[in-house]
Amino acid sequence: MDRKLPDMDISGWICHKCQSPLTVFQVNVTYMGASFEVELPGCAKCGVTMIPEILAFGKMLDVEKLLEDK
């Protein structure tokens, strides 16, 4: 999986708990034993990450299907 994300609009989003704006950092994602490092928006304070729709129904879904067929 590419580490770069498709263009995502994260303007205006803040972490509800920490009330801090989101930044982009490296996050580990796993599926069926495979593991990738990707850049995701999230809260630098508490570490909660956001998976936007464009990623969930786009690249992530493609990779899920690929891994399921392995």
Partner 1 sequence: MDKKVLLALEDRCTYEEPPACQSYCPLHVDARGLTQRLREGKIGEARKLLDRQMPVAQLTGWLCEGACQERCLRHGLDQGVNLPTLERFILQNSRAVKPFPMPASSHKTAAIGSSLGAIVLASELSRKGHKVTFYLTGPFGGSLLAAFDRLPSEAVSEALDLLTSLGNKFEEAGDLSPAFLAELLEDYKAVFVDLGDPTLDPAALGLTPAELVPDPITLSSTRDRVFLAPPMDVPFAFLAAARAGKAATVSLDRFFQGAQLSAAREKEAVFDTTLVVDLKEAEPAPPVVFANPLEPTLEEAQAEAGRCLNCACQSCLNVCPHLRHYKGYPKKYAREMYNNIITAYGIRTSNILINSCLECDLCKEICPNGADVAAFIRQARDEMIQTNHMPASAHEYALEDLVSANAPETSFYRPPKGRPTGEKLFFPGCQLVASKPDLVQKVYAHLNEAFDGQVGLMSACCGAPARWSGRTGLTGQVTSEFLGTWEKAGRPLVVLACPSCYLFFQNEIPSVKIESLWEVLAAKPPKGLELDDQTLELTLHDPCATRYQENVQQSVRSLMAKIAPNYKEQKYSQRLTKCCGYGGLGANANDQLGLEFAKDAALDGTNPLVSYCAMCRDRFALAGRPSLHLLDLLFAKAELGARSSQPGPNLTQKRDNRLSFKKAALAAFWDEVEPEPPSEPLEIVINEELWPKMERRRVLRGDIEQVIKNAALNGPLFYNQNTGRYLTSLRPRQVTFWVEYVLDEAGRYLIQDFWSHRMVAQGVPGAGAESPATLEGYARTGGRV
Q: Contact positions toward partner 1, by CB under 8 A?
A: 11-17, 22, 27-32, 40, 42, 47-51, 53, 55-57, 60-61, 63-66, 68-70
Tell me how far, at minimum, the Cβ of 27 lies from partner 1, in Å. Answer: 5
Least CB distance from residue 31 to partner 1, whole Å?
4
In angstroms, the CA 32 to CA 49 distance is 20
In the block, tokens 């580490």 appear at 3
In this structure, the number of other CB atoms found within 10 A of the CB of residue 18 comes to 13
Instruction: Using only the alpha carbons of the chain, give its radius of gyration.
Output: 13
> C-beta of 52: minimal distance to partner 1 in Å?
8
